[in-house]
Amino acid sequence: MDWLLPRQPGIEDALAARHLRDGTLVLYDVSSAAFEGRTCPLGQIGHPRDGVRGRLQIVYGVLTTTGGIPVAAGVFTGATGDPATLTSQVKKIKSRFGLTHVAVAGDRGMLAKVRIRDDLQPARLDWITALRGPAIAALMAGGAPTRFRRQPPRARLDPGKLRPSGTRRMPARRPNREHVLGPRPAKPVYPQARFSCPRRAAQGQ
């Protein structure tokens, strides 16, 4: 790691030059990893994305191509929220990689409204994300026309009425997990064994 850390910017720049072009789509997401030890300055208690609670952790984010090729990575303190990690990635895309027309895809927790307003829009980057529940409810309450189809399970909205300030919204009904990944695996059944030990005769009897 001591050898890799000072060389990370050069490696990332080379990967971006090889795999990214203007007009492309990049994917970004974060996770966390718990670890043992108390001396890491980044270790903090935070939201355990890996399910390990009550331990110090770090947060890391990975920027990839649509094919899943990692291009850049960042490590953050364990209490860092998902949206707070986006600023550094936008700076990489614009300043270091020299890309001017890129669409960033992230989940609704990552590309929050504040991050879109403060990071993506000033950088003139496009984005793809999902609306939160209240935003969907407000959209439907505003009279947005919908047309549902059963095959495939998807909903379409009239794009002519859903482009405020250049934004195009295309909601789709999320298929259930079984439709995408198949049925959930059955829980493992572990054999239960019972052991009995005869009581030893009392000493002296």
What's the CATH code of the domain at 14? 3.90.350.10
70: phi > 0 → left, psi -120 to 50 → alpha, else beta; which? beta
Count how many residues are written for the chain. 205
**Quick check: 73 and 11 in contact, CB under 8 A?**
no
Please name the amino acid found at residue 60.
Y
Which of 112-116, 136-140, 150-154, 160-164 is predicted most confidently?
Answer: 112-116
> For 78, left (φ over 0), alpha (ψ -120 to 50), or beta?
alpha
Residue type, 22: D
Q: How far apart are CA 169 and CA 130, in angstroms?
A: 9
Residue 177 in this model has a pLDDT that exceeds 70: no
pTM of the model: 0.67
**How many separate domains does the chain show?**
2
Q: pLDDT for 112-143, tens place per residue?
A: 888 888 888 888 888 888 877 777 777 777 77
CA distance 111 to 29: 10
Last residue of a domain, one of 104, 130, 156: 130
Q: Are 168 and 162 in contact (CB under 8 A)?
A: yes
Instruction: Identify the domain containing residue 75 by its residue range.
Output: 1-130
pLDDT (mean) for 1-30? 90
Assess whether 104 and 77 both reside in one domain: yes
Residue 74 and residue 151 in one domain? no
Look over the chain and give the mean of its residue pLDDT values, rounded to a whole number: 77
SS (H, E, C) the chain: CCCCHHHHHHHHHHHHHHHCCCCEEEEEEEEEEECCCCCCCCCECCCCCCCCCCCCEEEEEEEEECCCCEEEEEEEECCCCCHHHHHHHHHHHHHHCCCCCEEEECCCCCCCHHHHHHHHCCCCCEEECCCCHHHHHHHHHCCCCEEEECCCCEEEECHHHCCHHHCCCCCCCCCCHHHHHCCCCCCCCCCCCCCCCCCCCCCCC
Asked if residue 90 is part of any domain, the answer here is yes
Tokens standing for residue 120: 């993506």
Are residues 83 and 42 part of one domain? Answer: yes
Q: Which of 130, 157, 186 is the last residue of a domain?
A: 130
pLDDT at 161 over 60: no
| Assigned domain for 196 exists | no
